[in-house]
Structure 1
């Protein structure tokens, strides 16, 4: 069954087919049945805004005013636009990024040693594992030992695309566990510790005990000191700003919840881990999508499972400030079965 035009356009945009999404919506609002579909019009405004196409936005505004006899959404131009991930990519130069991938001969072991040496030299590291498409038990052991060593030295670490590596490791799990398979489990345990995923660690520990008839590794707490300091400073700044606002302009604005930013994709593992941590002790989990540009189609199903997991833990999940594109995509994937979707007020 074909999706409604709005949801189909949202899926196209999610897959980064912007021109196709625009073409579909332009056709929709010209057809007799779709002329009055205000959602399609609002999604077109969002697409032109995301593409920074002011001319097309203004042209659509005039047509919208005539059609609906009301003011169109305003062009979202503000003084802090440069800080909005929808306007420009993160320009910070990361000198501690290490992309782990096999060398020309297919060897990963030597690259793991280079990673460890690089991390110790720079003092912080962001490890990207998106290029790893296969890993042996020996390589899993080497990587696990390197990460354990860096963790024990309290070296600040961040990670890109861990979901890809976790999926690869789990693909090596068999119904009948073998000794060589155990090394894939041990690396996955280490990755869960580094991400602070205590519940997943405990659940996997039970599976491990049954599979290998031995006790799993013990949970250990890892604190990224740089991230913790930044979070503390951000919290202090927010408190100070709220206090200043209360003296000058009355009560501070209502907290819209956990702020997701940019393109939500397999590279958003850190944001997802932080979201899970944020949700851990709350009964109502608000997720602010003001600065979300796009939810990548390839990651939408995994993101759905994250939200579903939070809701099934007995929590109420609310997405706030959704633009029409992201709202339609979430509806297409059935997020509204597990979360409340609140659109931003555009007009």
Structure 2
């Protein structure tokens, strides 16, 4: 179930109402809700310098490049609720547990007025997306007791895909998407990769989300890649070249670290990419650093291909009147923007169907705003985000996308 978006004002808490303060950026479980009634400092929330993006207070006519006659109905949520916006930004930044704690604290401890329903629905969406049915059902009981009405139901066939594994809709190849940090936390993804490898001879390994690597994660991934080579699996690698560059960034010729794993993973990835020249250069650096004989290049005996991150958008007749957004918007958004621009040439109003959209990465939302602003600036052009989940809606509200498009919530 859902309600239409309504205007709300940020709540004002007394000192007696405010829980104890803690540092949200450190992922602690307690926080001072009163601080979120002040204007949100997004740089402190996610560690991103917003000088590289458009200012949040930028007026609509500046975004569009001229005076805009956009009516108020195009703004889905015109007044901010800082605590909910920050929770949406944390979720978009991959800090799911902190976002969950913040939303749970908001619905139980803060007076949100008419935004209260939105907070509950954001938490329901979070549990759906993270596949946490137990917490979803527990929240449903609380919801029914509080509002004396039926809560949202856990979908029999969950429309939200798992954030770590997906299927290639074109080829049916099972796909494993690695998280932003290549560290001990990839164990879950590797376990799923092991299960999928037992069912399919071909796998798609998507490294495009990886931003940070450390020796432990390198060692875990190295072991898994070697096992896949032994079992003769065909591989489609996405973002492997970028992964190699990130591994290089933590290496230094002549410096012996506690483990050789990052060096060996770099060499393994370069072999999988058929990059013999780059392999030989890295091999010599490895030889100098550890005073060993340089390993020789061995071309993969299995079928290994690589590609850049792509966003699959269905193009069948069913979607001629709208543009179907992908389940995830993350990483490089330029290919998606190009497809939207092409659709805008033949479709007005430009309806962006978000019924399958689960999560928009924080940095990607800023790029999406930059990409859509010129489209919205065309005379007579209107943009509508349709069937948006509550977490994405609140992120769009915080990032200013409400200023260039209308936002319609998904019906639960």
Is contact 1:289-1:320 (8 Å) kept? Answer: yes
Distance 1:293 1:87 in 2: 13
- For 2:105, the equivalent position in structure 1 comes to 27
> What secondary structure does 1:45 align onto?
helix
For residues 85 and 19 of structure 1, do their structure 2 counterparts lie closer, same or farther at Cα, with a shift above 3 Å needed?
closer
Q: Give the direction of change, closer, same or farther, for the CA distance of 1:258–1:67 in structure 2 (3 Å limit).
A: same
Query: What are the ranges of 5 or more consecutive residues in structure 1 without an aligned counterpart?
Result: 119-156, 163-226, 239-253
Instruction: Determine the C-alpha separation between the residues in 2 that align with 1:283 and 1:82.
Output: 28
Q: CA deviation at 1:159?
A: 3.4
Residue 124 of structure 2: aligned partner: 45
1:1-347 equivalence runs, <5 A: 1-2=39-40, 4-34=82-112, 37-78=116-157, 81=158, 84=161, 88-90=165-167, 91-92=174-175, 93-94=203-204, 95-97=235-237, 99-100=240-241, 159-160=308-309, 231=315, 234-235=316-317, 238=318, 257-314=322-379, 315-346=381-412
Deviation of the 1:116 alpha carbon: 9.8
Q: 1:40 to 1:74 in 2, by over 3 A?
A: same
Deviation, structure 1 residue 39: 0.8
Relative to the length of structure 2, the TM-score reads: 0.46
Q: Structure 1 segments of 4 or more deviating over 6 A?
A: 102-106, 114-118
Q: CA deviation at 1:271?
A: 2.9
CA distance in 1, matches of 2:382, 2:307: 29
The alpha-carbon deviation at position 83 of structure 1 amounts to 8.6
Distance 1:158 1:100 in 2: 9
Instruction: Tell me how far apart the structure 2 counterparts of residues 287 and 83 of structure 1 sit (CA, whole Å).
Output: 18
User: How far apart are residue 272 of structure 1 and its match?
Assistant: 2.9
Give the match for residue 245 of structure 1. Answer: none
Q: What secondary structure, in the 3-state scheme, does the structure 2 residue paired with 1:261 have?
A: coil
CA distance in 2, matches of 1:71, 1:255: 36
How many angstroms apart in 2 are the aligned matches of 1:276 and 1:332?
A: 23
**DSSP-derived class of the 2:308 partner:** strand
Cα distance in structure 1, aligned partners of 2:274 and 2:339: 25
Which consecutive unaligned segments of at least 5 residues does structure 2 have? 1-38, 41-80, 168-173, 176-202, 205-234, 253-268, 277-305
What is the TM-score of this pair, normalised by structure 1? 0.54
Compared with structure 1, are the counterparts of its residues 86 and 96 closer, same or farther at alpha carbon in structure 2 (3 Å cutoff)? closer
Give distance in 2, aligned partners of 1:50 and 1:280. Answer: 33
Give yes or no for contact 1:86–1:293 (8 Å, CA) kept in 2. no
1:12–1:20: 8 Å Cα contact kept in structure 2?
yes
CA apart distance, 1:115: 7.2
1:319 Cα deviation from its structure 2 partner: 0.2
CA RMSD of aligned residues (A): 3.7
The answer to which structure has the higher helix fraction is 1
How far 1:21 sits from its partner (Å)? 0.6
